[in-house]
Amino acid sequence: MKNTKNQPDTGNDGRMAMGRVNYKLMLVGFAVIVLGFVLMIGGGSKSPDEFNEAMFSFRRITLAPILVIGGFVFEIYAIMKKSR
């Protein structure tokens, strides 16, 4: 559709802002973030008088936060990736 003198050019030619690939990548990033939060679950003790050392495991202190931050970085990539 050609621009006429009476209609301003909006730059939108009927396409979505992001393509299917972008949305698929966003779903992957969201799944990684959810996995990171799931890995953080648990570690408490049944009684408040007991101390459970499992609260400070490698999975909860190191691995899960790395997955969450990596998932957010991947989400930024998925949004910024140019669709074809």
> What are the 10-residue block averages of pLDDT along the chain, 84 residues in total?
62 76 95 96 78 85 96 96 80
1 domain residue, yes or no? no
76 domain residue, yes or no? yes
- Specify the number of domains making up the chain: 1
At 44 the pLDDT is: 72
2 domain residue, yes or no? no
SS3 assignment, position 44: coil
At 28 the pLDDT is: 97
Phi, psi of 11, deg, nearest 5: 80, 0
Q: How far apart are the first and last CA of the chain?
A: 20
At 48 the pLDDT is: 80
At 56 the pLDDT is: 86
At 54 the pLDDT is: 78
8 domain residue, yes or no? no
At 49 the pLDDT is: 82
At 23 the pLDDT is: 94
40 domain residue, yes or no? yes
CA nearest neighbour of 67 among 42, 23, 31: 31
